[in-house]
Structure 1
Amino acid sequence: MFTLFSLVLAATAVAQTISPSVLHAKRSHLPAGWSRVRRHTPDAVLPLRFGLVQPNVGMSTLEELLNDVSHPESPNYGMHWTPARVADHFAPSDEAVDAVTAWLADSGLGKERLRVSRNKGWVMVNATVAETESLLHTEYHVYVHELSGKEHIASEAYNLPAHIVPHVEIIVPSIDFNAVVPKRSSPTSTHITLGQPGAGTVSPKLGAVVTNILDDLENCHNQTTPNCLRALYGLEYSPLAASRNSFGIVEYTPQAYLPSDLDLFATNFTSLFGQSLVGARPNIQSIDGGVVQTVSESFDFNGESNLDLQYAMNLVTGHQPVTLYQVGDLQMGASFNNLLDGLDASYCTFEGGDDATQDGIYPDRLPGGYLGNDCGIFKPAGVISTSYGYNEADLSPAYAARQCAEYAKLGLMGVTVLYSSGDNGVAGNGALCLTSNDKDSAQGQIFNPGFPSTCPFVTSVGATQVNPGASVTEPESACEQVIFSGGGFSNYFAMPSYQQGAVTEYLSANPPPYASTVYNSTGKSRAYPDVSANGANYVVAVNGQFGLVFGTSASAPVVGAILTMVNDARLAIGKRPIGFINPAIYSPAFKGAFHDITAGSNPGCGTKGFSTATGYDPVTGLGTLNFPVLVAEWLLLP
């Protein structure tokens, strides 16, 4: 017998099953180099994956959550989340899982064929092409890459029932071309080439060869050494809680340090109080087959890693171990998303997973490739410094937003994430600027901001210099030797609340003399960098000799070392790490904790760029770090 209630339930179920089909995704164009050659075989099997919508990832929501544990006036300051809490909070709802599985079962695929991933991010089923085409009201074709001959299966568009649309983020395979083509493009390409020479927006620049090391404070305007940095920023501190603390440096294969160069540097520069670091090595965490390769040796392959590790290890002293996150195998390479996958299991499938046009896709089926898929098996260090970057415009807004959300999740877990701001002022990679159609060009005249520095959930690090003939007791200026400090305003991300006072004050007192067609002049976008450190004339051992190195590549690990020592001081008295620092450093309590930089600019795109000013500026941020004041302020916080 049917009751009224059962009839209503049955009617509701039928209504959902037969809800109208609507377009969910359509490809606007076929990627260059690919041709459609034939309709796919009806009885071929597709490994269908439905990426479910994950809630609570809007930028405003993320900022609110992060401020709750990061703002010094919050009652929950320092109460960082566990990885399990992060994963649970950002997991798709049971409603999404139930709706998608019910629809697939009602469509004839059968519940026994369905699998749901452990983090509820994916519903998976093996279905024939015929079943899939009927399910999604589409057609699948075989495409061939003209140069490599690689085949790829995709559709032009697909549809979903209206009641399923709110629950599905992405379907694989469908319209996206996530086929990995084993081909390296130009040196300025961002396609899985972060570690390749010339890739990315940040790479150190080599100056003169050093034959006579001048390791005294009177010569810091000629040669920057660890003693110069300790004097500039007051870093006279020996770790007390090293076993509970951690500092991570990120490198992307084929970038690699040379052990002999670490020892050459350590022979000439002892750590604090004369401690020798000869024989000291970083603790290597190999992500997706990351390897410290020894096949290619030159400044292009060894300069970045040598620079980062020599100064990071020296400044935190031999008492504090340094972790090296070496990312990507030699065949595939890697990007920031591969690093993030390794640190947080909840990210591996987050909003559809990685993008093969930018990221390494593992297991790597190329000859000799890494056959694993490292997902959430590495513990994030308390401070993580990365001296690599992209142009914001080279990435889609969706790709950048997905990654930016992950930096917020790391901040919730108490991790401080640092990125170099770039070495070309207001220009991007290769000193290129944007044209009116958002393309990189030598003829471009539009400012070209860098990413991840424009993500509001990282701390972006610019570059300063000791002026020629000046001493370490005199104010630094923005770096204008060999490189210019990257800085400006995002075209993707809104201004976070922690910046509003400082950036609005800068724009009001120092209105940039450029039209709105030259940069994002709305006054409502994320400004960068946040802080700075010296980026000129670093004495670095590379391939058996010393040279002078320039770049925000040098600035980031120095800031990382200083913040690692702040963490040590807090841990030593039973307090938690500082985590995401931006809400704190922009707050009134930290106003005197930085050396204000008021000289210099960051030219590019045929302009003088932005100018430094009293207080915040989009050249050097809040200024350089004053360690004694910073550590005192952070020790006062809960």
Structure 2
Amino acid sequence: MFAVAFALVTGLSLVSASPSFSVHEQRANIAHGWARVHRPATPSAILPLKIGLKQSNIDKLHDHLLDVSHPDSENYGKHWTPEEVKAYFRPSDESVDVVREWLVEAGVDRGRIELSKGEHWVQVKDFTVAEAERILNTEYHVYQHAHGDTRLGCSSYSVPPHVQPHIELITPTLHFNGRPPRLTSDSNLISLNPTPMIYPTATYESLRPATVRFTTSPRSQLIRAASQNSFAIVEYTPQAYIGSDLDLFFANFSPSLVGIRPELISIDGGVVQTEEMDFGVNIESNFDIGYAMTLVGPGQPLRLYQVEDIPEGSAQLLSPFNDLLDALDGSYCTEDGGDDPSVDGTYPDPAPGGYTGLKDCGNKQRSNVISVSYASNEADLTPFYEIRQCNEYGKLGLMGTTFIFASGDSGVSGNDELCVFPNGTQSVGAPLFNPLFPANCPYVTGVGATQVNPGSTVFDPESAASLTGGGFSNIFALPDYQKKVVEEFYKFHAPPYGSDRYNNSQRARGIPDFSVNGVNCTVVAEGRAIAVAGTSAAPPVIGAMITLINDARLAAGKSPVGFINPAIYSDAFKGAFRDIVSGNNPGCGTDGFESVEGWDPVSGLGTPNFEKLLELWTALP
């Protein structure tokens, strides 16, 4: 059975705080870039309290996902409907009643207690700081980021022992963050170095024009079912594409696409903004969309999930992944919008120029394949927050959606080359490796980058790109589909580090799952072609491959492939990847891990053979 592993670096504790309370979450450290400034000015300040209920049957998610995703299963490809998923994982009436009665007994008027539309959250109207401090046995403080943003939060909170099994997390509490510095650029370098928050996972350098360029897939040989198929790229405002740059790219690589644009699906007021235009805000979207559209060709429309309005996007909150998930699955979001107002976007947005509509909640089209080239550090958020979000990827996988996330660009370090001290504090020079989220989630596909060696051709063996993120999660346990390859990795190639460097329990989720070339990739930005490097290359390229495979399966009357990890790790797919046996991913004052024979935490299973994957997946029922 799948279980979640908690490492000491999370600062999580479940010890008893008093006979009547048990600590549910706590952080021994203050999130990177933040400082506690003072107590709230008044205890009567309103706190939008939301209690995330324990989902029924969530411990069975792993097994059900394997049941529809493993090629040896008789239920392969028999994905669940949204209604089936909602009913199966809906919190129990007992959990709703226990939480409601706890609040009433603590003095909260029953009329102020509401159950969210998705039935996963209990909300309390007009809840004050004083009430929260008393009921949660905590103290709230104002925290300020180095760049000016302030948030209300606490370092721990507690609940009665009989309530604890019925809840996952309570917000707003420990989960907060703030605004990154403005992206900077000059004629020679694109620098993406925000505070530890969500941001593109590519490091862009203005190199010589790339001599290594992809060739289009053999899509002309496929029987297409584009009208039944869907492929989406995710971008976060203010990141936005420039049409003229796309056309220059298309003119060189796929002339029939000139003038064609992705279908915009605006989430929470997301716009393809043109108020701010420079390398820092255009290159990621130009890259993702250019590669995705060119590889799938004009026969397959591309969707663009543009997330967040301009004010929220400019703030670059830590986890707008939740805002994306809210829009795709109404059972995940709350009735009045926002999963944690100190982390996730809240709408209507009162900021000048903010989106005045209601928060998107289950009203946007799900896509068969979703490519995401953004990430945050695993240490940025609490385990309960990340686990709850990871489970949602798993539920969408049950419905047939493939999520692909980049593994990061700082080797075994996190974004900004931050590593972790044993108490959870992040810093450059700290000893513990810092993998990225959500690539560390066992219900998504985390992908890294390789490179063609100098003086070699695309037909010669590649090396792992030294920037590629990889390692082992400090939060998520080793999933069943990965056990065999990880056991073999430790048996034959055990790393020379101890638990003082990484989670060497041999029971942790390993990343990446596989890789594609991510160095010297051509992109057009501000009207000129440059070469870029980063694992951002991997999600749109791999997403295009899976989309073409889905085309073939749908044309044959079959389902999309959905969650791909159980298949790619199975014995049947062994010949579908080219093993990468050179290169490493340094960070945290070490050489990182080494690329070796078989799966490794640098290049994963290796690089994919599209034709072989197509053959294998189209042969499945």
TM-score category (smaller protein): 0.7 to 0.9
Counterparts in 2 of 1:178-577, with a 5 A limit? 188-189=193-194, 194=198, 199=199, 202-210=201-209, 222-227=210-215, 230=217, 237-238=221-222, 240-270=224-254, 276-333=256-313, 334=317, 335-349=320-334, 354-371=339-356, 372-480=358-466, 484-577=467-560
Structure 1 residues 519, 100: CA separation in 2 closer, same or farther (over 3 Å shift)?
Answer: closer
Measured after TM superposition, the shift of residue 177 of structure 1 is: 7.5
Distance 1:494 1:508 in 2: 19
User: CA-to-partner distance for each residue in 1:338-379, whole Å, 9 max, x for gaps?
Assistant: 1111111122149x9633454333332222222331111112
Distance 1:624 1:426 in 2: 20
Distance 1:131 1:523 in 2: 44
Measured after TM superposition, the shift of residue 188 of structure 1 is: 4.6
Measured after TM superposition, the shift of residue 388 of structure 1 is: 1.0
Measured after TM superposition, the shift of residue 50 of structure 1 is: 4.5
* Matched-pair identity in %: 48
Distance 1:25 1:181 in 2: 24
User: CA-to-partner distance for each residue in 1:428-450, whole Å, 9 max, x for gaps?
Assistant: 22333334444333323432212
Structure 1 residues 491, 280: CA separation in 2 closer, same or farther (over 3 Å shift)?
Answer: same
Distance 2:150 2:524 in 1: 46
Distance 2:586 2:448 in 1: 14
CA contact (8 A) 1:182 1:366 kept: no
Counterpart AA for 1:279: G
Structure 1 residues 392, 117: CA separation in 2 closer, same or farther (over 3 Å shift)?
Answer: closer
Distance 1:125 1:323 in 2: 37
Task: Tell me the secondary structure at the aligned position of residue 332 of structure 1.
Answer: helix
Structure 1 residues 152, 497: CA separation in 2 closer, same or farther (over 3 Å shift)?
Answer: closer
Instruction: Give the match for residue 614 of structure 1.
Output: 597
Distance 2:156 2:494 in 1: 46
Task: Tell me the secondary structure at the aligned position of residue 32 of structure 1.
Answer: strand
Task: Tell me the secondary structure at the aligned position of residue 446 of structure 1.
Answer: coil
Counterpart AA for 2:439: S
State TM-score, norm by structure 1: 0.82
Indicate the structure (1 or 2) with the bigger Cα radius of gyration. Answer: 1
User: CA-to-partner distance for each residue in 1:378-426, whole Å, 9 max, x for gaps?
Assistant: 1221111111111212222222212111111111111111011112222
Measured after TM superposition, the shift of residue 458 of structure 1 is: 0.8
User: CA-to-partner distance for each residue in 1:171-209, whole Å, 9 max, x for gaps?
Assistant: 567x5576x978869975557x53xxxx46x12412325
Distance 1:264 1:440 in 2: 41
Counterpart AA for 1:304: E
Measured after TM superposition, the shift of residue 596 of structure 1 is: 1.6
1:578 equivalent in alignment to 2:561: yes
Distance 2:42 2:138 in 1: 8
Distance 2:413 2:127 in 1: 49
- Corresponding residue to 2:584 among 601, 607, 614: 601
Measured after TM superposition, the shift of residue 129 of structure 1 is: 5.8
Measured after TM superposition, the shift of residue 566 of structure 1 is: 0.6
Structure 1 residues 167, 297: CA separation in 2 closer, same or farther (over 3 Å shift)?
Answer: same
Instruction: Give the match for residue 10 of structure 1.
Output: none
Task: Tell me the secondary structure at the aligned position of residue 474 of structure 2.
Answer: strand
Instruction: Give the match for residue 57 of structure 2.
Output: 56
Distance 1:410 1:608 in 2: 36
Structure 1 residues 45, 435: CA separation in 2 closer, same or farther (over 3 Å shift)?
Answer: closer
User: CA-to-partner distance for each residue in 1:100-134, whole Å, 9 max, x for gaps?
Assistant: 44566678867666543332223445467699589
CA contact (8 A) 1:385 1:419 kept: yes
The number of residue pairs the alignment matches comes to 584
Counterpart AA for 2:214: P
State TM-score, norm by structure 2: 0.84
Measured after TM superposition, the shift of residue 636 of structure 1 is: 1.6
Structure 1 residues 611, 155: CA separation in 2 closer, same or farther (over 3 Å shift)?
Answer: closer
> Which segment is superposed worse, 147-156 or 365-374?
147-156
Distance 2:500 2:153 in 1: 38
Counterpart AA for 2:55: Q
Task: Tell me the secondary structure at the aligned position of residue 347 of structure 1.
Answer: coil
Structure 1 residues 235, 205: CA separation in 2 closer, same or farther (over 3 Å shift)?
Answer: farther
> Which segment is superposed worse, 94-103 or 278-287?
94-103
Q: Once superposed, what is the RMSD of the aligned Cα atoms?
A: 3.4
CA contact (8 A) 1:129 1:140 kept: no
Instruction: Give the match for residue 611 of structure 2.
Output: 628
Instruction: Give the match for residue 6 of structure 1.
Output: none
Instruction: Give the match for residue 217 of structure 1.
Output: none
CA contact (8 A) 1:238 1:317 kept: no
Task: Tell me the secondary structure at the aligned position of residue 532 of structure 1.
Answer: strand
CA contact (8 A) 1:39 1:141 kept: no
Counterparts in 2 of 1:73-84, with a 5 A limit? 73-84=72-83
User: CA-to-partner distance for each residue in 1:42-87, whole Å, 9 max, x for gaps?
Assistant: xx887665443322234xx321121111111111111111112212
Counterpart AA for 1:300: G
> Please, which runs of 5 or more residues in structure 1 have no aligned partner?
1-19, 211-221
> Please, which runs of 5 or more residues in structure 2 have no aligned partner?
1-18, 184-191
Counterpart AA for 1:496: P
CA contact (8 A) 1:435 1:443 kept: no
Distance 2:492 2:90 in 1: 44
Measured after TM superposition, the shift of residue 39 of structure 1 is: 5.2
